[in-house]
Each structure stands twice: as C-alpha cells, then as structure tokens.
Amino acid sequence: MTQGPLTTEAGAPVADNQNSETAGVGGPVLVQDQLLLEKLAHFNRERIPERVVHARGAGAYGTFTVTADVTKYTRAAFLSEAGKETEVFLRFSTVAGNLGAADAVRDPRGFALKFYTEEGNYDLVGNNTPVFFIRDAIKFPDFIHTQKRDPYTGSTEADNVWDFWSLSPESTHQVTWLFGDRGIPASYRHMDGFGSHTFQWNNEAGEVFWVKYHFKTDQGIRNLTAGEAEVLAGKDPDSHQRDLREAIERGEFPSWTVGVQIMPAADAATYRFNPFDLTKVWPHADYPVVEIGRLELNRNPRNVFAEVEQSVFSPAHFVPGIGPSPDKMLQGRLFAYGDAHRYRVGINADHLPVNRPHATEARTNSRDGQLYDGRHGGAKNYEPNSFGGPGQTGRPLWQPFDGFTAGTGDHPTPAHAEDDDFVQAGDLYRLMSDEEKERLIANLAGALSQVSRDDIAERAIGNFANADADFGKRLDAAVRALRG
C-alpha cells in the first residue's frame, strides 16, 4: 500500500528517483543532486563493519606486463612500453552475500584491480560480467536492498528481487547473463573479468578515446551447474578462496590476457546506442578487442584481514592519461566507493600497506583522524604555500568532456568585466572614512608584521595594492615601520 509520495530524509518530495541530474543530456552527474548523494551516503553506512556489498572475497598480488604499444591512445606511464611490469593486487568477491556466505552461488563476481604505478595507484573496479543491472547510480541502493535481507523476514526474498527487476527493464541483459551458464563460476581462476564501464584514455597530444577493459582467463572458462553449486556451497563454503590460495601455493599462477576495445571520441555521438550505458556491450564487430598486456597472480596475502578485508578500491583513483566517462553509474561510483571506505575502514584507509602507493609517495595535505601515522611530520598542510610543499601540476589527468562546461584544470576567460579579485575590495576601501582607513591599516600591519618572511608580507601587500594603490602604499609603510 502506498503511503504518500517518496521523500528525502528531510521529508521533501522526490520528483525523480530514476535519473541522476546531469550537465546536459547524458552528461556528467552534478554534485547538486543531493538525492543521489543522500542515497549513496546512507547506503554506504548500512552495514558495520563489513562491506555493504562485495563483503565476501579473496585476493592476491601479482604483476601486469604490457605486451603492446598503446602510447598513441594513452599517456599513462605504466602503459608506456612493451615489457613494462607493474605490481598489482586483485580482489575477487561475490556481490550480495555477507562475509560468512558461501562462494559457489549464483551472483556476479567483483574483479577489483589495483595497479601500484609510478604515478600513483590506479584502481579498475569491475566485475566478471561486461554489463550490470542498472545504468544509473541513483537506483543502486534500491537494487542492492532487493538482494539483501528483507527488513521484516530477515531473509532474501524472491518477491523483492523479481519485483525490482520486472520494474527495471534495463536489468534484462544482466539477468540473462546471470542465469546463463556463466552465472556460477567454478573458481575465481576460471572466469573472465571486465572493467564493465566505459573509460577515457587520452594521449600526449590531448586526443581522447573511449575504452572498455577485458581480462580473458588463460585457464579457460569453467562453470558450475545449479546442482553442482548447491552441493559445493554446503560442502565447502570457502571453495573459491581455497582454490585461489592453493593454486598460488603450488606455483600454478593464474593469469589473464588483457585487452581493450577502443572507440575514437568522435564516434560516441553518432553510435547506434549510448556507448556509456552500463547495461550494454560494444559488439566486437564494431570495436574489436586489442591485446595490451598480461596479468598474473603469484603471491598470496600474509594476513587476510590486513590485506584483503582492509583493502579499498575506488573507481575515482585514476592516473594521468586515464579518466572517467559520462557513464551515470560510473559517475555515482566515483563518489560512493571512497565515501564507503572512509566510513568502513577509516579516513586514513589509504595509509595501510595494501592500499598506499608502492612506486611513489602520496603527497597530500590531509592530516589526523583514525589510523593517522604521523607520516607528514611537521610539514605545512595547505596549498598553495611557499615553504616547498607539493603543488598542483596544472594538467588534468583526463580531458574535459566535449559539449560540457569547464573541466578540471580548465581556466576559461572571465565572462564579465569585473571578474577579478580586487575591484570590490578597492571599492570598499574607497568608501571608508579616513579614520576607518587608519584602523584598517593598523590592524593589517599588526598582523603582517608577525610573519617570518619578507616575501610573504610583500605578496599580501601586493594584493591590497592591486585593490587600491593608496591602500597598498600606506600598508607597506606601516608594515616596514613595525618590522624595522
């Protein structure tokens, strides 16, 4: 029975619970969509302390080796030459089950890969399926609620699952995949992996390409029938985790051939369907898979909790030359994953050994909080600064999407005559009486006289001089008098 309109947590009626707000049709998702952020933030905090999704998993370390030259498509350093190796950590998982669930169940498998590159960590967080049930992150909390335990019965309910799927026709493709022969992999080693989403690659010339990642298992595809899975899940709930660990212990290192589908950016606008729709694949006849590398897992974690349970992955972790697309599901995940990790593991989860960069050093101004290890010492924790701290590069990791407003690192010419930082400050100064100006100068000079370096005071005085020449001249004289 309906009980009035759907509302936000604050009680405001919800106009649209099916589509995120975007910058133009099909464009990037807007932060102003507070319903989206509210739903995702609330959803991320619904389980303590296990992952709200992908709770059940296993992981291993390994290497990614480049086998083809892709520099005409991307400037990512870890893909810069054939033969180059990058350390990786891969976590497999089921989606809906809790931490104590069985491995051999009908459920998509998470395929979350962390590349420890020299330009920082790159996380590719996908599944063993190339598509998903929904195309917009605003529906994700609702979808997962149908897969989890019902609030009244405490059990998973077929009514909930099929009610949602039947009301969400975009799920038909993934449901067909899930209930086919590949719905229950025999092991983590015997299944393919996919980035699933569309991502951006950009090269040194700034040219943009859209790509989809494919990981083809070198062990061959093996699956379980429903009957076989039912027996195995009861007999050995840890079957997939055990299989992966023991294979690596025996020296039978599992591997995957890595390829990408590559679409020139210009093709997207006229392609026969939305290429950023997560419920669809790109036919290989249109964009064939091009081999770019080989992934091998060859080292087990020493401690499952420290390295598997506390591992965190975020689709927002990009490196130069790789970025997001207007995929609305991906856009929501860029926020949701980091938010979930900050809540579940802690604000400094990236400091843990399994999560921190291995080939470079993270240089941020974040400090304190749970798990903080004091690594920054007494270094300044703000930017910009003139004490030798890290600064911005001015070059974005990816290119702004065509047809949308300014992206990261884009600096458009001011649209209005007085779009600067000084006009109104000067106007305010000139409105003051002589007595007010004297008190202003005295207050500013008293504060500026306490800085330890002359160049800092000179920069500050220069800003006030840009607002009004008299303002700067009088302040300079007052500071010099106090500093001697």
Q: Which sign, positive or negative, has the C-alpha torsion 87, 57, 300, 296?
A: negative
Q: How many of the other CB atoms lie within 10 Å of CB of 444?
A: 18
443 is catalytic: no
Residue at token pair 């005409």: 72
Q: Give the Cα separation of 157 and 138 in Å (integer).
A: 22
Pair of tokens at residue 79: 């893909």
337 is in an annotated binding site: yes
* DSSP letter string, 355-390: TS-SSS--------STT---TTTT----SS-SSS--
**Cβ neighbours of residue 259 closer than 8 Å, sequence gap 6 or more:** 213, 214, 216, 289, 290, 291, 292
Give CA 57 to chain center in angstroms.
Answer: 20
SS3 292: strand
127 is catalytic: yes
Helix (H) / strand (E) containing 80: none
Q: List, in sequence order, every beta strand (DSSP E) within 203-335.
A: 208-217, 255-264, 290-299, 322-323
Q: How many of the other CB atoms lie within 10 Å of CB of 152?
A: 7
Helix (H) / strand (E) containing 12: none
Pair of tokens at residue 241: 């985790």
Query: C-alpha angle 353/359/364, rounded to 5°?
Result: 70
Query: Active site residue: 44, 121, 127, 128, which one?
Result: 127
Helix (H) / strand (E) containing 62: strand 57-66
Integer angstrom CA distances of residue 320 from 1, 22, 183, 482: 51, 25, 35, 48
Name which of 447, 437, 446, 423 is nearest 470 in CA terms. 437
SS3 276: coil
Query: Active site residue: 54, 173, 240, 317, which one?
Result: 54
Mark the binding-site residues for heme, compressed into ranges.
337
Active-site residue list:
54, 127
Mark the binding-site residues, compressed into ranges.
337
